[in-house]
Amino acid sequence: MNADAALIVVDVQPDFMPGGTLACHEGDAIVPGIDALLRRRLFRHVVATQDWHPRGHLSFASSHPGAAPFGQIELYGQPQTLWPEHCVQGTPGAELHPAIDWSAPDLILRKGSDPLVDSYSGFRENLGPRGIRPDTGLAGWLRGRGVNEVHVCGLARDVCVLWTALDAAALGFRTHLLWDLSRPVTPAGDEPARAALASGGIGIIDSASLLT
């Protein structure tokens, strides 16, 4: 068990699986591997993030008359993708995936609850109306437990996983993304994600390397 490293499992929820309202490409393929990794208890600290939106969230296309899912608007001076309704609080699609044993995480961090602010990263909300990205408290929680290295997996590789990894690195954590245990919204997101990870000094590894 690595005492100074944590595993962050991002948004492994039914709405991001095939058949869900915001299905990621092959999103269900990572479920067995994440379950197996959690059962190995390789990390003293495990964090699971959970998208948890109120109905009518500002990031939903349905909140903007005439807008279509995956279109873009400007929000607080930044481009904002308009998503299909997903991970609405209290719905089955917002639950953590039932095929995974979630007894390992010692923190479940719900994000995206502010109806006016989108939230990709586990560390900070997206830019809001006050011109800042509010802190979720995750960095302080990890540092308070002696964590200085994180491994990130989950969904989606080109959005919430990527933003979580980039913020972790920017906040001073040694950061690795488990490529085999993540999937993008669409395969077109993989090349830009790789480039952003390289620019952020983030290692791309497979989960098998953790077992050697």
| CA–CA separation, 122 and 10 (whole Å) | 8
Active site includes 87?
A: no
Active site includes 111?
A: yes
Concatenated DSSP letters of 99-165: TS-TTS-SEEEEE--STTS----SSBPPP-TTSS--B-SHHHHHHTTT--EEEEEEE-TTTHHHHHH
Active site includes 206?
A: no
Q: Which of 51, 111, 153, 167 is catalytic?
A: 111
| CA–CA separation, 129 and 183 (whole Å) | 30
Pairing label, strands 149-155, 2-10:
parallel
CA distances to 181, 183, 190 from 187, rounded to whole Å, are 15, 8, 6
Q: Which of 15, 153, 160, 167 is catalytic?
A: 160
User: Which residues belong to the active site?
Assistant: 11, 111, 160
